[in-house]
C-alpha cells in the first residue's frame, strides 16, 4: 500500500474544490482549465508531462487508499473478527450463567432427596446447634476441599479457609481466621485443630518469591508474609534445591509455622497444655493423591526461645 508523504495531504475533495484550482475565465473549455490549474500548482508547461504523471500516481494512490479504507470498514480483518468472536463467546457464557445455577439446583435437589431426607434426624439435630470435634484451617484453593478429601460430614468440622492456610500470630490483631479460632475453641469447644497444607500452593509460591528486605504493597503479599519464618527456614535448609522443590518444602514448613502461631493465643496454649486440645498438621498432595498427617508435641517443642522449632509426633502417611 502506498503511503502519502507526511509533509502534506491530498484528497479528492481538495484537488477538485481548492480555490487555487478555479479557472480565471469561465469560458475556458475543461481541458484548458485543467492545464491552467496544473500550471498554477506545479509550474511551467515544460514540466507538465512529469507533473501529470505524478498527479495521476497520487490520485490513484489516494483512490486506492480510500477504497481500502472503505473495504476495511465493510470487512474487518480476520484477527478483528476473531477478537470480536471471542468477546461474544465470553459474553454469551456470562449471559448463560443461569445454566450453571440450573446445574447447581439439580445438585441441591439431589442432596435434599438422597442425603437430607434420608438423614432427617441428623439434620433436625443440627438445626438446634453444632458440636464439632474438629476445627480445620485449610487453603481457599478450589482443589482443596476438606470435606471432599477427608469425608467430613455436616456437623463434624468447623472450617476456616484462607490463602495458603495460614494462622497469623496473636499479636497481629483481629482477622477472620483468628475470630473463627476464638469461636471454635472457646464456644464450640473443639478438641482438635487441623491445619492442612497442599501441593502447588500459589500462596506459598508468592511467599517464596518475595525479597527479605522489601515490604509488599499487595494484599496477597501482606497476608502471606505471615509465613515469613517458614520462608527463612526453607531457604536455609534447601539451598541446593530448585525453586519448585523449595516451594514444596515450604508448603509443609508453613503448616508448622501456623502450629507455632496457634500457641501464641492464650486460650489455645492453655488448653493444649492441659490436654484439652490437640493441634495437628496435614499435607494433601493432589498430584499423587496422598495425605500426610502429624501432631504437635507440646512438651518437646521449644517455642519460647527466638527461632524455636515445633516438635511433632504420630506422623502418618496415607496413600
**pLDDT tens profile 294-318:** 999 999 998 776 566 889 999 999 9
Who wins on pLDDT, 46 or 184? Answer: 184
Concatenate the DSSP letters of all residues of 256-318 into one string: HHHHHHHTTSHHHHHHHHTTS-EEEEEEEETTTTEEEEEEE-TTT---SSTT----EEEEEEE
Are β-strands 157-162 and 278-285 bridged in parallel, bridged antiparallel, or unpaired?
unpaired
Closest CA to 198 of 173, 159, 243, 161: 161
When pLDDT is averaged across residues 219-224 and rounded to a whole number, the result is: 92
Least confident of 152-156, 271-275, 308-312: 308-312
Q: Residue length, the chain? A: 319
pLDDT band at 215 (very low <50, low <70, confident <90, very high): low
**CA 29, 53, 3, 13: dihedral to nearest 10 degrees?**
0
When pLDDT is averaged across residues 208-222 and rounded to a whole number, the result is: 79
pLDDT score at 22: 41
What's the mean pLDDT when you consider all of the chain?
A: 80
HEC sequence for the chain: CCCCCCCCCCCHHHHHHCHHHCCCCCCCCHHHHHHHHHHHHHCCHHHHHHHHHHHHHHHHHHHHHHHHHHHHHHCCCHHHHHHHHHHHHHHHHHHCHHHHHHHHHHHHHHHHHHHHHHHHHHHHHHCCCCCCCEEEEEECCCCCCHHHHHCCCCCCEEEEEEHHHCCCCHHHCCCHHHHHHHHHHHHCCCCEEEEEEECCCHHHHHHHCCCCCCCCCCHHHHHHHHHHHHHHHHHHHCCCCCHHHHHHHHHHHHHHHHHHHHCCCHHHHHHHHCCCCEEEEEEEECCCCEEEEEEECCCCCCCCCCCCCCCEEEEEEEC
Least confident of 83-92, 105-114, 164-173, 295-304: 83-92
pLDDT score at 2: 46
Least confident of 38-47, 99-108, 273-282, 287-296: 38-47
Residue 47: pLDDT over 80: no
Report how far residue 152's alpha carbon sits from residue 161's, in angstroms, rounded to the nearest whole number: 15
pLDDT score at 111: 97
Residue 262: pLDDT over 90: yes
pLDDT score at 214: 56
pLDDT score at 25: 44
pLDDT score at 217: 74
Residue 161: pLDDT over 50: yes
pLDDT over 70 percentage in the chain: 67
Least confident of 35-49, 111-125, 149-163, 286-300: 35-49
Residue with cell 496435614: 282
pLDDT score at 297: 96
List the helix and strand counts (H, then E) for the chain: 13, 6
pLDDT over 90 percentage in the chain: 62
Residue 249: pLDDT over 50: yes
Residue 156: pLDDT over 90: yes
When pLDDT is averaged across residues 238-267 and rounded to a whole number, the result is: 97
pLDDT band at 254 (very low <50, low <70, confident <90, very high): very high
pLDDT in tens, 127-151: 999 999 999 999 999 999 999 999 9
All 3 cell numbers of residue 54? 505524478
**CA 315 distance to own-chain centroid:** 34
pLDDT score at 99: 87
pLDDT band at 211 (very low <50, low <70, confident <90, very high): confident
pLDDT band at 23 (very low <50, low <70, confident <90, very high): very low
User: Taking the CB of residue 225, how many other CB atoms lie within 10 A of it?
Assistant: 16
Query: Model pTM?
Result: 0.70
Decide if 260 contacts 307 (C-beta within 8 A): no
Classify burial at 25, counting beta carbons within 10 Å of its beta carbon; exposed 0-12, middle 13-18, buried 19 or more: exposed
Amino acid at each position: 500500500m502506498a503511503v502519502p508523504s507526511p509533509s502534506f495531504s491530498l484528497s479528492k475533495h481538495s484537488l477538485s474544490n481548492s480555490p487555487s484550482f478555479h479557472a480565471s475565465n469561465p469560458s475556458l473549455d475543461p481541458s484548458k482549465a485543467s492545464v491552467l490549474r496544473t500550471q498554477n500548482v506545479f509550474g511551467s508547461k515544460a514540466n507538465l508531462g512529469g507533473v501529470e504523471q505524478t498527479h495521476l500516481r497520487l490520485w490513484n494512490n489516494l483512490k486506492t487508499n480510500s477504497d481500502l479504507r472503505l473495504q476495511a470498514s465493510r470487512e474487518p480483518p480476520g484477527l478483528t473478527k476473531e477478537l470480536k468472536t471471542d468477546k461474544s463467546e465470553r459474553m454469551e457464557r456470562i449471559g448463560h450463567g443461569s445454566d450453571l445455577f440450573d446445574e447447581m439446583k439439580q445438585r441441591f435437589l439431589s442432596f435434599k432427596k438422597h442425603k437430607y431426607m434420608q438423614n432427617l434426624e441428623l439434620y433436625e439435630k443440627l438445626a438446634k446447634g453444632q458440636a464439632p470435634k474438629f476445627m480445620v484451617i485449610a487453603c481457599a484453593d478450589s482443589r482443596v476441599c476438606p470435606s471432599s478429601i477427608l469425608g467430613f460430614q455436616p456437623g463434624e468440622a468447623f472450617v476456616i479457609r484462607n490463602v495458603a492456610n495460614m494462622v497469623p500470630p496473636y499479636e497481629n490483631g483481629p482477622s477472620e481466621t483468628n475470630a473463627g479460632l476464638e469461636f471454635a475453641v472457646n464456644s464450640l469447644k473443639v478438641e482438635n485443630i487441623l491445619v492442612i497444607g497442599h501441593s502447588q500452593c500459589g500462596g506459598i509460591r508468592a511467599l517464596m518469591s518475595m525479597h527479605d528486605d522489601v515490604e509488599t504493597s499487595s494484599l496477597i503479599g501482606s497476608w502471606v508474609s505471615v509465613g515469613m519464618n517458614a520462608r527463612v527456614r526453607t531457604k536455609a535448609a534447601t539451598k541446593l534445591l530448585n525453586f519448585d522443590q523449595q516451594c514444596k518444602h515450604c508448603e509443609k514448613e508453613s503448616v508448622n509455622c501456623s502450629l507455632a502461631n496457634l500457641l501464641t493465643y492464650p486460650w489455645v496454649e492453655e488448653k493444649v497444655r492441659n490436654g484439652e486440645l490437640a493441634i495437628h498438621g496435614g499435607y494433601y498432595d493432589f498430584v499423587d493423591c496422598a495425605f500426610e498427617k502429624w501432631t504437635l508435641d507440646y512438651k518437646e517443642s521449644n517455642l519460647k526461645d527466638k527461632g524455636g522449632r515445633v516438635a511433632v509426633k504420630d506422623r502418618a502417611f496415607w496413600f
